[in-house]
Amino acid sequence: MSGTSETRQSGGRDRDTEGRARNARPRDGLGRPLPYGADGVERQPEGVVRAPEETVAEAQALLDAGRPFHAHEVFEDAWKSGPRDERGLWRGLAQLAVGLTHTARGNTTGGARLLRRGTGAVEEWAAESGRPRPYDLDLAELAVWARELAGVVEHDGGPVDAAASSPRLRGRAA
């Protein structure tokens, strides 16, 4: 189901047209809910099936814009809709993006934990699949970035600037 379907309040909860819970509150650039009626950033539609190259390009644009929560949602779509043998890759990338989200929000403990978990997931996937650069993703450099950021926020605290701290998914030359 696409996230473009309408939402309505029913019994105090936002529901889509099929009755599933969907939070329709506006969100800020880091995905935090804002009060109803507030100006938020455009939400990422849920359940969009994209080609892997589209997923990487859209996630990179969101990361560059300082919107890692929204990049996480793009990776989550790939995780849920992509081939079963790639789910570990996309799940790990989603964890990296949400780890950056938490560090930008000032949750250094949770952010560092998610950055390390995501690093482990993408490294494990690369080792098991024998594909260290799927879709030209630089998984080794992403792992270095995540470990360094986790160390910085654990040492110095947070929050960090999401745009300034975001990774290059395809490496420094991308």
Angstrom distance (rounded) from CA 20 to CA 18: 6
Q: How far is CA 26 from CA 42, 65, 116, in A?
A: 8, 18, 29
pLDDT of 52 reads 97
Q: Kindly give the parts of the chain with pLDDT less than 50.
A: 1-6, 174
Which pLDDT score, from 0 to 100, does residue 22 have? 60
Enumerate domains of the chain plus CATH numbers.
1-43 (no CATH), 52-165 (1.10.3450)
Q: pTM value?
A: 0.84
Tell me the H-state helices in the chain: 52-64, 68-81, 87-105, 108-129, 139-156, 162-165
Specify the pLDDT at position 89. 98
So what's the pLDDT on residue 69? 95
